Structure 1
Amino acid sequence: MSAGAAHPGEGPQPDAGSLPEPLRSLPPGGRGAGHLLAQLADVQVAHEELRVAEEMRVQQEQITHLLLQHDAERRWRGQMSALLPLGLFLTDGNGALTEANPALAAHLGTALQRLRGKPLSVYLAPEDVRPFRSALRELGSGAAVDQTLTVTVRPRRRPPLRAHLFGFTDAADHRASAARVQWVLIPEEAVVDGLAGGRADDEPAVPARAPADVDTEDEERIPASQVIGLATALAELSGLSAGQADGQRLLGRMAALIRGAVPAADWVSITVGDPREPQRLGSDSAEAQTFDGRQVQAGEGPCWDAHRVGSVVVTDDVVADPRWPVLARLVAAGPVRSVLAVPLHEDGTASGAINVYSGRTGAFGLAGRRIAELAAAAVAGVLQNVAEREAMQQLAGNLERALGSRAVIDQAKGILMVRLGVNADDAFARLVTLSNRHNVKVRDLAALVVEGHVDDLLTAD
């Protein structure tokens, strides 16, 4: 009963002629029509509270859906692509830039915040505009799933540069404004210099970190075919987190993409967490799984060292390498010889490792190592994206359970209001008292009331 409601027998009673037929037959007095109308008003208040709670639940579901969609389709560009010295960006079917990473801004010689909405064609040489638009039509309409171009980019206040441009259909649509196309821009000079990114006049440099145990003076040209494989792998990695709910399959898919991008790679595995107690493991083959198991059995190996020191570890022949004598004995009869272990980083801390295996000795050159590092940066971004999405889903689940508990408690309050003739505050106070007395959570006690055990509870009280 609300605080301002009239008590039975107080104040004027309603005119019997204005009451519905079922109420006219009720006797006058304390348990008459006035009392019943007051109780009905309180039940209506409780019903309104339930309606509001249901609306909140629906709104929460909509918010959760929007957040997950935003996370799946957009957040990778702020987390993963910012780590890479390659230009990664998204355009609509008209070629207007909708998303871009800092490396693209550096290659175009402009500030990142100035790129959104601008057509990429304004940064291309006139002779390259028509081929770009032709490739864009093919990708935006779905007539092709990938396109490869070599273009001349004209940065502001800097000399022109030649670059490889790779396009991949993200969402085909007959409306150009609704189509989405992913692009990877790799300057030819970056291919020669080991994929080191350029720098705009008003942007900080985006470094490409060389492995700690690699002689950086021994530069080697990365073949165009390997650049194409890297671009394809990066584009596919960027979209993995959108639809992969199974963490094990996600890691396996990423391992397969890395195997296709890194030259001489035969088998690949990914370890998330400390190799001694990994949180997740994924691989593309039984050979990779077996070698991972041998490292755990030996308590040593390239993966362990890469995670411990936080830098790339490579061996030309694991059987002959004196750094891991126990492991060498365990894997002597196996197919793996060369190993390339690249740490995964999150917030500057090693969070796992990518293990690339080859059946040949001396398989991994400088180009392969740097490609593996770029792939590792992409994998780290995807995994961070997935971790944040899982945390968001857990938070949404907690909120949904809280809303569900509130709805049950409000229903129980309405039942007690009618049964005991009290207002909402008194009904909730009675629930709290029963909860403390019987050492039962309020939401569990409310569920018992709603399920029809109110008389048993009140009798016990």
Structure 2
Amino acid sequence: MSFDSTPVELGRIFAHLSGMILNEKDATSAASKLAWAAHQTVPSATGAGFSLLDEDGKRLSSASTDPTVEAIDALQYELGQGPCLSAWATGEPQRVDDTATETRWPDWIGAVSSMGIGSILSSPMIYRGRHVGALKVYAAEPHAFGETEVHLLGLLANAAATLLGTAQSIDTPVRLSKALTDALTTRDTIGLAAGVLMAQEHLNRDVARTRLLERARTSNRRVIDVASEILTDWEKQGESP
């Protein structure tokens, strides 16, 4: 898709999307439609995700195009770090050209790289100065996203923010700081669970975090729930990480 054809293609995609969302009161279904729209809008993406945030900075709804994207996206919010949270906080798109060499968000990026994700692009959704969510796309190959993809995802994010932003109270801005504060306890739980796996299965930290992601994905549960279960079993055994 070239820049010349962008308005036509996005107009077609978003006209169809708008009709579905405006008649859909279920936020989860709306999120799923936006995730698939992002995947379609950026042809080089192998997966996409979307998160809508409430007035406290917590996820109101989220969706992804496949289980791997869901797992690595959820881990961002549980660890309190990652390109989507950074896009949300700064209001600027965040691009990871190669997860193997990326130095930002070290706890998250190591697990993502081990899961076979090579590059990432995240665009904030901003409505009347409020950060209402984020759209993101992933690819297995490094350097999958350039300026064209940044432009395309940004256009869709802006349109989606306008559509969904009207459904949120204009008097309650999203606050990222509270979300990050709330994430600290979750981050510690995941870190302790990774430590247990490291000791029990003789793994390094990156592999242990990847194991947590894989368990969450295959059991269709949140990473924090899997981590809590590991810690509960460890306590029953009377061991320490």
Q: TM-score range by the shorter chain?
A: 0.5 to 0.7
Residue 383 of structure 1: CA displacement?
Answer: 0.9
Residue 228 of structure 1: CA displacement?
Answer: 5.0
**Of 115, 122, 134, which residue of structure 2 is paired with 1:353?**
134
Within 5 Å, which residues of 2 pair with 1:199-210? none
Residue 270 of structure 1: CA displacement?
Answer: 1.0
Aligned partner of 1:325: which letter?
A: P
Aligned residues of 1:315 and 1:339 also touching (Cα < 8 A): yes
Aligned residues of 2:45 and 2:137 also touching (Cα < 8 A): yes
Task: Render the CA deviation track for 1:273-294: whole Å, top value 9, x for unaligned.
Answer: 2797322212222122011122
Residue 223 of structure 1: CA displacement?
Answer: 6.6
Q: 1:270 maps to which residue? A: 50
Q: 1:298 to 1:243 in 2, by over 3 A?
A: same
Is 2:41 the partner of 1:261? yes
**Of 131, 138, 147, which residue of structure 2 is paired with 1:366?**
147
Within 5 Å, which residues of 2 pair with 1:214-233? 222=3, 224=5, 228-233=8-13
SS in 2 for 1:240: helix
2:32 and 2:153 mapped to 1: Cα distance? 16
1:228 and 1:380 mapped to 2: Cα distance? 19
Aligned partner of 1:317: which letter?
A: D
SS in 1 for 2:3: coil
Aligned residues of 1:252 and 1:284 also touching (Cα < 8 A): yes
Aligned partner of 1:255: which letter?
A: A
Aligned residues of 2:94 and 2:123 also touching (Cα < 8 A): yes
**Of 331, 335, 341, which residue of structure 1 is paired with 2:122?**
341
**Unmatched tracts of structure 2, length 5 or more:** 170-241
SS in 1 for 2:48: strand
Aligned residues of 2:38 and 2:136 also touching (Cα < 8 A): no
Q: 1:296 to 1:385 in 2, by over 3 A?
A: closer
Q: 1:326 maps to which residue? A: 107
2:31 and 2:78 mapped to 1: Cα distance? 22
2:22 and 2:120 mapped to 1: Cα distance? 31
TM-score, length-scaled by structure 1? 0.34
Runs of 4+ aligned structure 1 residues displaced above 4 Å come to none
Q: 1:244 maps to which residue? A: 24
1:245 and 1:278 mapped to 2: Cα distance? 17
Residue 227 of structure 1: CA displacement?
Answer: 5.8
The Cα RMSD (Å) is 2.3
1:223 and 1:348 mapped to 2: Cα distance? 28
SS in 2 for 1:241: helix
Residue 245 of structure 1: CA displacement?
Answer: 1.9
Which entry has the higher C-alpha Rg, 1 or 2? 1
1:277 and 1:385 mapped to 2: Cα distance? 18
**Unmatched tracts of structure 1, length 5 or more:** 1-190, 192-220, 389-461
1:340 and 1:256 mapped to 2: Cα distance? 15
Q: 1:369 to 1:325 in 2, by over 3 A?
A: same
Aligned residues of 1:229 and 1:260 also touching (Cα < 8 A): no
Residue 240 of structure 1: CA displacement?
Answer: 2.6
1:336 and 1:229 mapped to 2: Cα distance? 27
Q: 2:82 maps to which residue? A: 301
Quick one: higher RCO (CA 8 Å, sep 6+), 1 or 2?
2
Q: 1:385 to 1:349 in 2, by over 3 A?
A: closer
2:11 and 2:68 mapped to 1: Cα distance? 26
Query: Which deviates more, 297-306 or 247-256?
Result: 297-306
Aligned residues of 1:342 and 1:376 also touching (Cα < 8 A): yes
SS in 2 for 1:355: strand
Is 2:94 the partner of 1:313? yes
Within 5 Å, which residues of 2 pair with 1:405-420? none
Identity among equivalent positions (%) equals: 25
SS in 2 for 1:294: helix
Aligned partner of 1:318: which letter?
A: T
- The structure richer in helix per residue is 2
Residue 269 of structure 1: CA displacement?
Answer: 1.0
**Number of aligned residue pairs:** 168
TM-score, length-scaled by structure 2? 0.63
